[in-house]
Amino acid sequence: MTIFLDVPATGFTGNRLDRADEVRRDPAAVIGLRGRSDARWLVMDRLNPVVRPGDTPSLLWAYRSDVPHDALSVFLGMDGDAPRFAAVAPSEELVADFGGQLLDARAAGSLLPAHEAAIVAQARSMLDWHQRHGYCAVCGAPTTLIKAGYARSCGACKAEHFPRVDPVVIMLAVKDDHALIGRQPRFPKRFLSALAGFVEPGESLEEAVRRELWEEAGITCGRVQYLASQPWPFPSSLMIAAFAESDGFEVRLDQDELEEVRWVTRDEVRAALAGDGDFLAPPPMAIAHTLLKSWVEG
């Protein structure tokens, strides 16, 4: 029997572009798309998008002539029949000529419509990866962009390299109508969130959840239940949210990782999500917000 989960929507998801794998494998077809009159580019200046400001900001799609010919550029997909690309380029002319505004990519996740924020996540992660991987990890020789931006190739040893996505577990330990939240030293005072950590090699998601809770808070957990996932383009992670059944309430804090942990009730979380609590909850674009909201409503 197949079981389908009712997974809540999360920030940076809802991308409506058709990534058109069959097109990006054909260099001639990609060149043809770049030359079409309906092709548009999302300009990313320092990996931040240029948008049309207003009561409802939206992405500003530039013409090919607005993008330097030698700019790092990747194919994002098809918006219906129209090709869409992203490029690393200066934003000054778009700001001056078209009334654009350079928007911080994190702010974009909150202000843009969901499907456009998801495009920003795709573009930022891909362009950032290309900027970081100009040389072959096998032999050290320079690499070149291939497959419309979805891979790089080494001319020396012929190795192909593909964009990386790093899995991160983010979880709420729960017990007897209480949930465990905490604050890293770099977080603002009063800001509390779900605990999180990178999945390590040779480790399942469930094992990563249990290990992180043990290492950071000193608690042991049994059953782990998946909730939802979220792309997080800073630089390119996949956040995997889960609940974990704690065996007890006693905590042992790893002060290198966390400055504070606290067991909270549903009423306390509900008040924080409404902006009336004694701690600051994560914003709606963060999957930690989704975790807390789902727990309160569950």
**CATH label of the domain that carries residue 176:** 3.90.79.10
One domain, residues 88 and 180: no
Confidence of residue 7 (pLDDT cuts 50, 70, 90): confident
DSSP 147: G
Q: How far is 293 from 10, CA to CA, in rounded Å? A: 11
In this prediction, residue 93 carries a pLDDT of 93
One domain, residues 200 and 284: yes
Structural domain includes residue 180:
yes
One domain, residues 125 and 204: no
Structural domain includes residue 14:
no
Structural domain includes residue 289:
yes
Structural domain includes residue 34:
yes
DSSP 245: E
One domain, residues 83 and 185: no
Report the number of distinct structural domains present in the chain. Answer: 2
Structural domain includes residue 267:
yes
Q: What is the pLDDT of residues 194-225, one digit of tens each?
A: 999 999 999 999 999 999 999 999 999 999 99
Q: Looking at the predicted structure, is the pLDDT value of residue 1 above 80?
A: no
Q: Looking at the predicted structure, is the pLDDT value of residue 9 above 80?
A: yes
Q: What is the pLDDT of residues 223-242, one digit of tens each?
A: 999 999 999 999 999 999 99
Structural domain includes residue 70:
yes
Q: How far is 107 from 256, CA to CA, in rounded Å? A: 28
Confidence of residue 4 (pLDDT cuts 50, 70, 90): confident
Taking residues 88-109, report their average pLDDT. Answer: 95
One domain, residues 221 and 291: yes
One domain, residues 100 and 178: no
Q: What is the CATH number of the domain that holds 114?
A: 3.90.79
* Residue 237: domain span: 166-297
Structural domain includes residue 15:
no
- 233 with 153: CB under 8 angstroms? no
One domain, residues 172 and 289: yes
Q: How far is 194 from 296, CA to CA, in rounded Å? A: 14
